[in-house]
Chain A
Amino acid sequence: MTPRQRRLALVAGILAGVSVAALLAMRAFQDNVMFFFDPSQVASGEAPVDKRFRLGGMVRPGTVQRTPGSLEMRFVVTDFKRDVPVRYEGVVPDLFRENQGVVAHGRLGRDGTFVADEILAKHDENYMPPEVAKAIKEKHGGVMPVNPDHKAVPRT
């Protein structure tokens, strides 16, 4: 092979490799991306039944129930319009509590209960997952419901 042919072969090889990699990446992407839905979307049947997704909203006050002494728990995620019951078994994050934003990963069961395998509540008192904030904001015509025990710190 002349140097020119060799270089051409090299470039062709690299291009082929990169395209295969890109193709595989795109497949991995399509199979493994998780979409976000709020309770209203779940109630109207927009959320998939057979695929994992992220459910986000507020933990409705007074709905957190535990089987005493076990890791099983149930609570209701709400966007103040529709509710979705959630079942989870495991350790919840430090900042999981009633009337706080939460994101749950899992699947929707046939009975309409969301079976979560992971619960996220981020490490910040004032934290509201942006997607949850947005979803709730849209439901309330731009007004965020105020969390009563949220201690507001003025930031001038």
Chain B
Amino acid sequence: MIPELGHFALVLAVVAAVAQTVFGLVGPTGARAHWLAAVRPAALAQFLLTSLSLGTLVYAFVQNDFSVEYVAANSNTALPVGYRIAAVWGAHEGSLLLWAWMLCAWTLAVAALSRSLPDAFAGRVLGVLGIVSIGFLLFTLVTSNPFVRLDPPAPDGRDLNPLLQDPALAAHPPMLYAGYVGLSVAFAFACAAMIEGRLDQTWARWTRPWTTVAWAFLTVGIALGSWWAYYELGWGGYWFWDPVENASFMPWLVATALIHSLAVTEKRGLFKSWTLLLAILAFSLSLLGTFLVRSGVLVSVHSFAADPTRGLFILAFLVVIVGGALALYAWRAPLLRSEAGFEFTSRESFLLFNNILLVVAAAAVFAGTMAPLISDSLGLGTLSVGSQYFDPVFLLPTLPLLALAAVGLHASWKRGRLSARRGAILTTLAIAVVLTFALVFGAWSGAKALTPVGFALGLWLIGSALVDPIDRIRRRLSMTPAVIGMALAHAALGVFVVSVTAVESYTRERDLALAVGESGKVGEYEYRLTGLEMREGPNYDALRGEIVVSEGGRQIGLLHPEKRSYWVQRQQMTEAGIDMQPTRDIFAALGEDLGAGRWSVRAQVRPLINYVWLAALLMAIGGVVAAFDRRYRREAPDARARDGEGA
């Protein structure tokens, strides 16, 4: 009975979404102005109904209701309760429901915080969000209903894929989806502006905090996925250009361009149509990401349950949404002229180059991700594109991007002349170069060609990001959240670049064959297998190794890698042993029994790798801090009381 209630609530949610769309889009056209009053209640109803629906599914998981097929396929009585809840989005059907719920939550937040907006505009924004919502709710109901019953009920469930039984991965989909879906708000604002044919600086001020918060979620979501792949898949790195990673990275790159372009539109009223195009593009890439992951066209670890009809539905939906928005753009964008001009060395032009380079980087990733699909579907052969393509093609636009960012952080708006800031630029650069030499010749020895470039750029960025706040403190000027957030996010980018450079330059890795008591060399490190024992977990058996790692005869780490065998799915899983230290990660994963008492061991030492994810987290925090700047709330006294919902 309870699952049917959830199913029925979902059907009613579609009705509410239709109401929200019709009231929102038809209301402002004149004759039916009073319809607008019904838009917000419709959004609230839709949120409540979707929440009820999601709630019943969570309930079914917690209660081990194996008469629901989706529960039977993805849970088990031996599964801890926390993972039973996470199992709700452990597969396709539930993750779509989560997507739809996220959209309703964002919609509700927009409805609640948009009272300061003109009614007609807010109605149109909510109307466009309603269209997106109808699409996703129908998609869930028609192709991937999570409430389908199993008759007779299964005695026990097939269990959640053991790979997904992990805290970081339990949080990864909600974060990622919050980001994907959050970009729909910028998209809806853009569509509403185009429908009205009016786009001013106030528009950009409304759109900015939403976009930045969505971007922050996306950043955290991507970082969590990357961290999980590092320690759970035992891949041992932070990024693999896996198609599904790329699917989330492309919207991130474009969203990053968008938040910078919005800054220009807000401050100077420039780049209007470009900003609109980026808003459309960012959300389109989110939808494309969902399509790529969920249709199963990609060969990847993520494509667990693939189904072509679902892919077709999302593709059709993608065409409608993106095609519609682009048609609207072609029709309306010429109305939106920017009048002001700017100097070549002003902040505007640095942000223009930022945008171009980010979009070029996104295009390069797009080409590499889509090429195998296109080649295969045209019968040109099955090919794969790996890091040999992505690494150089991605670095090509991003290295100049980092240099320009380091200089651009010093530039001021409009008539900015860099000569006035030459001192600060050169000082930060000089400090960065000196520290780079210290790192390359002191802390670590040896380097690859790009090592000094990476260190110098990263350090220069950190320095440049901190110049403005330090200057303000010295001159006893006020520190706004916008200033703090921006400095934090850009300094974090610098930390990211430095840590990535260290990982790429100084990683030591080797596969070893070790018996208990034997040792092997990995660069300057020695790995010694000192023990192997059997151990039992809550729902698995494990073979646990003990490895002592030493450098120059001194013990620097003790690792306990495991080889787990899960009872229900009988799946073998590698649980890497990682010793996290402030300056490096010492890593070992058990391979297989090689005979003669030996086991294969994947041994790696990676300097600074944790700062890669820490930097991503700092970037996201910077974004959230900046999004809560007072000026976004100045014209919205009403909204201040409830701004908790906006995040």
Contacts and interface: CB of A to CB of B under 8 A. Distances in A.
Nearest to B574: A94
Contact of A25 (B69, B393, B511): B393
Interface stretch (B360-368, B534-542, B543-551): B360-368
A28 B389 contact: yes
Nearest to B600: A91
A27 to B, nearest CB: 9
Interface stretch (B38-46, B124-132, B376-384): B376-384
B595 interface: yes
Nearest to B385: A33
Interface of B: 69, 73, 150, 158, 161, 163, 233, 299, 301, 304, 341, 344, 356, 360, 364, 367-368, 371, 381-386, 388-389, 392-393, 396-397, 511-513, 515, 569-574, 589, 591-592, 594-598, 600-602
B591 A69 contact: no
A33 B386 CA distance: 7
A18 B356 contact: yes
Given A33-B389, A36-B384, A68 B596 contact: yes
Contact of B515 (A33, A69, A125, A156): A69
B364 A25 contact: yes
A124 interface: yes
B361 to A, nearest CB: 9
Most chain B CB atoms below 10 A, which of A18, A33, A90, A122: A33
A71 B594 contact: yes
Nearest to A9: B344
Contacts of B573: 94
Interface in A109-156: 122-125, 129-131, 153, 155-156
B396 A24 contact: yes
Interface string A17-48: 11001001100110111111000000000000
B604 to A, nearest CB: 11
B511 A28 contact: no
Contact of A69 (B360, B513, B572): B513
A14 interface: yes
A1 to B, nearest CB: 10
B598 A34 contact: no
A74 interface: no
Given A69-B595, A91-B591, A29 B385 contact: yes
A36 B381 contact: yes
Given A25-B367, A71-B511, A130 B598 contact: no
Contacts of B600: 71, 90-91
Given A29-B367, A91-B511, A131 B299 contact: yes
Contacts of B571: 94, 123, 125
A10 B571 CA distance: 58
8 contacts: A3-B341, A34-B383, A35-B384, A66-B594, A69-B594, A70-B594, A71-B512, A91-B591
A31 B386 CA distance: 11
Contacts of A54: 382, 384
Contact of B150 (A71, A129, A156): A156
Contacts of A66: 594-595
Given A28-B389, A69-B596, A21 B574 contact: no
Contacts of B382: 35-36, 54, 131
A90 B392 CA distance: 27
Given A69-B513, A69-B594, A29 B158 contact: no
Chain B residues touching A, majority SS: mixed
A98 to B, nearest CB: 13
B384 A14 contact: no
Contacts of A130: 299
A124 B246 CA distance: 21
A18 B515 contact: no
Nearest to A73: B594
A94 B396 contact: no
Given A32-B386, A69-B598, A70-B513, A156 B356 contact: no
B125 to A, nearest CB: 32
A68 B594 contact: yes
Nearest to A130: B299
Nearest to B356: A14
Interface of A: 3, 6, 14, 17-18, 21, 24-25, 28-29, 31-36, 54, 66, 68-71, 89-92, 94-95, 122-125, 129-131, 153, 155-156
A36 B150 CA distance: 40
Contacts of B591: 91-92
Given A18-B356, A33-B389, A125-B569, A90 B396 contact: no
Contacts of A125: 569-571
Nearest 10 pairs of A and B residues by beta carbon: A69-B596, A68-B595, A32-B388, A91-B591, A36-B382, A68-B596, A32-B389, A69-B598, A94-B572, A91-B600
B602 A91 contact: yes
Nearest to B597: A69
Contact of B383 (A36, A69, A155, A156): A36
A155 B73 contact: yes
Given A28-B389, A36-B381, 5 more contacts: A17-B356, A21-B397, A29-B371, A130-B299, A156-B150
A11 B73 CA distance: 55
B59 to A, nearest CB: 22
A31 B597 CA distance: 43
Contacts of A21: 360, 364, 396-397
A63 B622 CA distance: 55
Given A29-B367, A71-B600, A122 B301 contact: yes
Contact of A123 (B301, B364, B389, B602): B301
B393 to A, nearest CB: 5
B383 A35 contact: yes
A28 B393 CA distance: 7
B344 to A, nearest CB: 8
Most chain A CB atoms below 10 A, which of B371, B513, B598: B513
A24 B161 CA distance: 41
A126 to B, nearest CB: 10
A91 B159 CA distance: 27
A123 B166 CA distance: 15
Contacts of B596: 68-69
Most chain A CB atoms below 10 A, which of B73, B367, B384, B388: B384
A107 B570 CA distance: 34
A92 B601 CA distance: 10
Given A21-B364, A91-B602, A123-B233, A33 B371 contact: yes
B513 to A, nearest CB: 5
Contacts of B233: 123
Nearest to A30: B389
A130 B384 CA distance: 13
Contacts of A6: 344
Most chain A CB atoms below 10 A, which of B301, B592, B601: B592
Contacts of A95: 572
A45 to B, nearest CB: 16
A145 B95 CA distance: 33
Contacts of B383: 33-36
Contacts of B601: 91
A29 B594 contact: no
A94 B235 CA distance: 12
B392 A28 contact: yes
